[in-house]
Amino acid sequence: MARSRVAQLNDYRELVEYGLPTGEAPGFAEEREALAEVALDSEAQQELAFLDECAVDLLRTVGFIDACWLKDAQDQPLAHWWWHFGKLRAGTYPADRLPPHLRVIYWPASAKAA
């Protein structure tokens, strides 16, 4: 039986709130991918955007990240940022490929050097 959109969003929230701060969130990319494939109402879209912002911020600032997370999935499109934690963490992810709400908080390596 398929999980409801509410359950999917709740599972993603748990990964962002409890997994990412510890540097371990198994299944993060898969959960985020599943959310990209479902229709969400405007309230759920806003919550997803907020959780995405938290995820990118945590990814860039948390001290420890499990090394397996930093291996980008080369077979996934760049528009699906959740498969490219290595580039995001290193600041080498092309900012123009991020959704606008994430571009605001993302600082590419080139911007840091300037």
110 — pLDDT class (breaks 50, 70, 90): low
Domain hosting residue 36, numbered range: 5-113
The model's confidence at residue 12, banded by pLDDT at 50, 70 and 90, is very high
pLDDT (tens digit per residue) in 79-102: 999 999 899 988 999 999 999 999
Question: Positive or negative CA dihedral for 27, 37, 7, 22?
Answer: positive
Q: pTM of whole model > 0.85?
A: yes
Cα angle vertex 17, ends 34, 63, to 5°? 110
Average pLDDT over residues 55-74: 84
| Residue partners of 73: CB distance under 8 A and separation at least 6 | 29, 83, 84
Mean pLDDT over 11-39 rounds to 91
Give the count of domains, the chain.
1
Residue pair 19/65 in contact (Cβ under 8 Å)? The answer is: no
